[in-house]
Amino acid sequence: MKEVRIGQLGLGRIGRLHATNLCQSIPGAKLVAVADPYLNDDGIAFLKSLGVERWGKDEEEIFAAKDIDAVLICSPTGTHPDFIRRAAAAGKHIFCEKPVGLDIPDIESALDAVKKAGVKLQLGFVRRFDHNHKKVRDVVASGRLGAPHVVKVCSRDPEQPPEAYVAVSGGIFVDMMIHDFDMARYLSGSEVTEVVAYGTNKIDPFFAKYDDVDTAIVMLKFENGAIGVIDNSRAARYGYDQRVEVHCDKGCVQDGNDLIDMSMISTADGVVCEKPTWFFLERYNNAFIAEVKDFINAVANDAPVPVDGHDGLMAVKIAIAAKESLKENRPVKVV
């Protein structure tokens, strides 16, 4: 198998995660160069420690490089559609972090560019690669439980993000629940046609300043007649709570959280087990590796990508509908 040569855009938290995985855990991939307009000495030292040999502040060097087969887009959301268009124009395959964008026409234009260029585009919906959620989806997709009736996703972060983050996050639906919208499509195997959202501000008063909520529930209708519900909280003090459930004709399949360990301590005060693993780096660590392995395989062997541009687009559409629903207190179609 030919080595896939990667250029990466962005070296923030998620960028460092992908860079580390590319260099240490993903055979067949080589991280050739990294561009980030905010690259500093610390970032350079980090890249050197990984053995990466080229870096800079200008993304154009990545798009222009003849020896780069594919790009990983880990830059801020606002840049995604533009970077996708430029990468496609340069004939490079693309792995792009979620969300694919914030504006539907902008996203659609980027997807058009990908289509015309004939390059591959994979979206970073990492949870599809989690062993637990994937098992639930595989059971549903196998048909052994019959048709899905109800899809449930519970997703809670262990602690609220800083106020500065919330100020620019785009709100809980676009920033956080977007993963769960994708999960709902993934589990049900069907498109979402309508949503209705309830939200409340219980965790930190600053959410209200940005017209945002910290706690939300969204109901969904699916094309196949199933219905669903997602609940999100910005703060579960016991850790990252990530559970899904699909109730079907013949039964129900659900998952639980990975735990810190499988211990059980029994005393007069009760029986104490461990908490879920702390946050996404702990819970989805292997999934981050698996999604990029799949991307590398798709590029190297001209195989289909497991999560594509349409998946990216639909999740954003649902998020925008949910936001509108919460604002107007009415069900909103996903069109």
- d(Cα 142, Cα 125) in Å, to the nearest integer? 21
Fill in the per-residue mask, 277 to 306: x = in contact with its own copies (CB under 8 A), - = not in contact. Answer: ------------------------------
- d(Cα 12, Cα 115) in Å, to the nearest integer? 29
Residue 170: Cβ-neighbour burial (10 angstroms; 0-12, 13-18, 19+): buried
CB of 252 to its own copies, least distance (A): 5
Separation of CA 273 from chain center: 29
Q: Residues 153, 253, 316, 334: which binds its own copies (CB under 8 A)?
A: 253
- HSE (side-chain half, CA atoms, 13 Å) at 299: 27
> Which two structure tokens, joined as six digits, stand for 166?
């919330």
Minimum CB distance to its own copies smaller for 83 or for 181:
181
Could you tell me which stretch among 171-179, 220-228, 287-295, 303-311 binds its own copies (CB under 8 A)? 220-228
Could you tell me which stretch among 98-106, 160-168, 260-268, 293-301 binds its own copies (CB under 8 A)? 260-268
- d(Cα 270, Cα 151) in Å, to the nearest integer? 33
Q: Residues 22, 90, 94, 139: which binds its own copies (CB under 8 A)?
A: 139
In this structure, the strands spanning 70-73 and 93-96 are parallel
Contact flag: residue 149 with its own copies (CB under 8 A): yes
Residue 252 φ then ψ, to 5°? -130, 140
Minimum CB distance to its own copies smaller for 105 or for 270:
270
- HSE (side-chain half, CA atoms, 13 Å) at 147: 8
Could you tell me which stretch among 8-16, 80-88, 165-173, 215-223 binds its own copies (CB under 8 A)? 215-223
CB of 57 to its own copies, least distance (A): 28
CB of 214 to its own copies, least distance (A): 8
Contact flag: residue 268 with its own copies (CB under 8 A): yes
Q: Are 273 and 312 in contact (CB under 8 A)?
A: no
Which residue, 252, 226, 240, is CA-closest to 276? 240
The residues facing 231 across adjacent strands are 154, 217
For residue 23, the surrounding DSSP H or E stretch is: helix 13-24
Q: Residues 30, 54, 247, 310: which binds its own copies (CB under 8 A)?
A: 247
CB of 95 to its own copies, least distance (A): 22
Whether the bond between 99 and the residue before it is cis, its omega within 30 degrees of 0, is: yes
Minimum CB distance to its own copies smaller for 32 or for 236:
236
Contact flag: residue 200 with its own copies (CB under 8 A): yes
Could you tell me which stretch among 120-128, 166-174, 243-251, 300-308 binds its own copies (CB under 8 A)? 243-251
Which residues make up the interface to its own copies (CB under 8 A)?
A: 24-25, 131-132, 135-136, 139, 145, 147, 149-150, 152, 154, 156, 196, 198-203, 215-217, 219-221, 225-229, 231, 233, 236-239, 241, 247, 249-275, 329-331
